């Protein structure tokens, strides 16, 4: 990992997600201060959500491990931008996680991108902090765990 100046990072997560916990730990270990929000209860609008996706293909906006995507009920490749935004706002579990906002910009997911690079995150070839970290046969993490960290103004948690 490359060192970057400590930054405040707004991190939208699914509470209880093992993968999001690993991602947060990496950012904290790099010296960043996280303001954590529950992605599932955030009052999303198209105007607020769309900038996180930048120039990503619409199909990549959706979480491939979301039950409705995984089962084939929703085909991300068949969605246009307007349909995808409407679906993601109605059902935030479908949003690819995490959503990250910093002074360097916004991003979706935890793969090498300019925002994460500006934060000092350099994932080695083959290093995967994006995919679901839950092993096959482990219980589902659909039910969020209660937040243990103290709450800041606006319902976020400082970490």
* Residues with catalytic roles: 17
Indicate the burial class of 24 (C-beta count within 10 angstroms; 0-12, 13-18, 19 or more).
buried
For residue 25, which of 93, 98, 107 has the smallest C-alpha distance?
98
Task: Give the span between the Cα atoms of 103 and 5, in whole angstroms.
Answer: 12
- Torsional sign, CA 113, 115, 117, 119: negative
For residue 96, which of 9, 19, 1, 16 has the smallest C-alpha distance?
19
**Cα–Cα distance list, 4 to 56, 126, 150 (Å):** 25, 22, 26
User: Cβ(63)–Cβ(93) under 8 Å?
Assistant: yes
For residue 95, which of 146, 159, 50 has the smallest C-alpha distance?
50
């Amino acid at each position: 990992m490359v060192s970057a100046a400590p930054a405040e990072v707004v991190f939208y997560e699914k509470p209880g997600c093992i993968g999001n916990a690993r991602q947060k730990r990496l950012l904290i270990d790099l010296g960043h201060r996280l303001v954590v929000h529950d992605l599932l209860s955030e009052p999303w609008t198209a105007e607020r959500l769309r900038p996180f996706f930048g120039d990503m293909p619409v199909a990549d906006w959706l979480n491939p491990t979301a039950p409705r995507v995984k089962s084939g009920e929703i085909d991300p490749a068949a969605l246009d931008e307007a349909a995808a935004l409407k679906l993601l706002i109605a059902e935030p579990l479908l949003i690819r996680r995490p959503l990250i906002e910093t002074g360097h910009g916004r991003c979706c997911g935890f793969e090498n991108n300019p925002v994460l690079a500006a934060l000092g995150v350099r994932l080695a070839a083959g290093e995967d902090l994006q995919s679901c970290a839950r092993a096959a046969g482990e219980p589902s993490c659909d039910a969020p765990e209660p937040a243990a960290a103290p709450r800041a103004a606006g319902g976020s948690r400082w970490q």
